[in-house]
């Protein structure tokens, strides 16, 4: 696999870090006409909803490093967690399927909204194995047992938020820099991102500092 990602172009010595191509990149940038008019300043969006043809969002960037580690270690089964409608679990399952890996989701209950129902159907469609647990303690125990008994299994942290996953967003900052240099987008004053674990934000902060 040729490693031509912006981060490795800048730091070739980092190519010893496992990486596998997953995302469609660079993701396009669009000026938001109406919002810019309303707020009287130029607002741009980087379309990271388009990182993947089936299931975009922020996870696939993280998976380029996390799945590379999984493949390098020869693991066959992914163990991860969430609630029954977990977006992270679905994104993991979709990506795992592309690599011929199976996904076990250890999930807690949550109210059955329309979105949760849709994700449950998608979990089923993409072949996730769901383990419904009563509480976080039971879930932790069940995951540990699975990981001990199945030596081919690999634990993916919630939201793939780990040092490896964070590298996906260090690379995203370098990708944005290339778009600025090519004058596809003006250099932004501020970047806004959604926040959960802060791994996305941490990767971008580090990447922008280095880029």
Ligand X SMILES: Cc1ncc(COP(=O)(O)O)c(C=O)c1O
Q: Which DSSP string do the residues of the chain spell out, in sequence order?
A: -----HHHHH-GGGGGS-----S-SSPPEEE-HHHHHHHTS--EEE-GGGSSSSS-SSHHHHHHHHHHHHHHTT--EEEEEEETT-HHHHHHHHHHHHTT-EEEEEEE-----HHHHHHHHHHHHHT-EEEE-SSHHHHHHHHHHHHHH-TTEEEPPGGG-SHHHHHHHHHHHHHHHHHHHTTSSPPPS------SSSHHHHHHHHHHHH-
Question: Under rule CB under 6 A, which residues in 83-142 are in contact with ligand X?
Answer: 87
Does 198 interact with ligand X (rule: CB under 6 A)?
Answer: yes
Out of 167, 199, 204, 211, the residue judged to bind ligand X by CB under 6 A: 199
Residue number, 198 or 210, with CB nearest to ligand X: 198
Quick check: 194 binds ligand X (CB under 6 A)? yes
Among 27, 161, 162, 171, binds ligand X (CB under 6 A): 161
Residue 27, interface with ligand X (CB under 6 A)?
no
Closest contact distance (angstroms) between CB of 7 and ligand X is: 17
Regarding 57 and contact with ligand X (CB under 6 A), the answer is yes
The least CB distance from residue 69 to ligand X, in Å, is 17
Of positions 4, 34, 195, 209, contacts ligand X by CB under 6 A: 195
Taking the least distance from each CB to ligand X, the nearer of 14 and 201 is: 201
Q: Does 58 interact with ligand X (rule: CB under 6 A)? A: yes
- 162 scored as a contact of ligand X (CB under 6 A): no
Q: Is 39 in the site for ligand X (CB under 6 A)?
A: no
Stretch that binds ligand X, among 65-73, 100-108, 113-121, 190-198 (CB under 6 A): 190-198
Shortest separation between residue 156's beta carbon and ligand X, angstroms:
13
Residue 83, sorted as left (phi over 0), alpha (psi -120 to 50) or beta, turns out to be beta
- Give the Cα separation of 42 and 52 in Å (integer): 27
Residues 87 and 128: beta-carbon distance below 8 Å: no
Residues that bind ligand X (CB under 6 A): 57-58, 87, 159, 161, 194-201
């Amino acid at each position: 696999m040729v490693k031509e990602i912006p981060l490795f172009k800048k730091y070739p010595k980092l190519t010893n870090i496992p990486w596998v191509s997953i995302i469609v990149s660079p993701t396009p940038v669009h000026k938001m006409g109406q919002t810019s008019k309303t707020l009287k300043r130029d607002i741009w969006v980087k379309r990271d909803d388009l990182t993947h043809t089936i299931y975009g969002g922020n996870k696939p960037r993280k998976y380029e490093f996390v799945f590379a580690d999984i493949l390098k270690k020869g693991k066959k089964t992914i163990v991860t967690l969430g609630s029954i409608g977990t977006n992270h679990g679905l994104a993991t399952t979709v990506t795992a399927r592309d690599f011929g890996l199976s996904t076990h989701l250890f999930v807690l209950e949550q109210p059955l909204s329309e979105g949760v129902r849709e994700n449950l159907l998608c979990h089923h469609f993409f072949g996730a194995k769901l383990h419904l647990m009563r509480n976080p303690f039971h879930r932790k125990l069940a995951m540990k047992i699975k990981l001990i008994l199945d030596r081919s299994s690999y634990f993916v942290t919630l939201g793939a938020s780990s040092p490896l996953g964070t590298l996906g967003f260090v690379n995203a900052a370098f990708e944005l820099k290339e778009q600025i240099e090519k004058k596809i987008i003006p250099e932004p004053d501020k970047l806004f991102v959604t926040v959960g674990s802060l791994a996305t934000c941490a990767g971008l902060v580090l990447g922008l500092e280095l880029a």
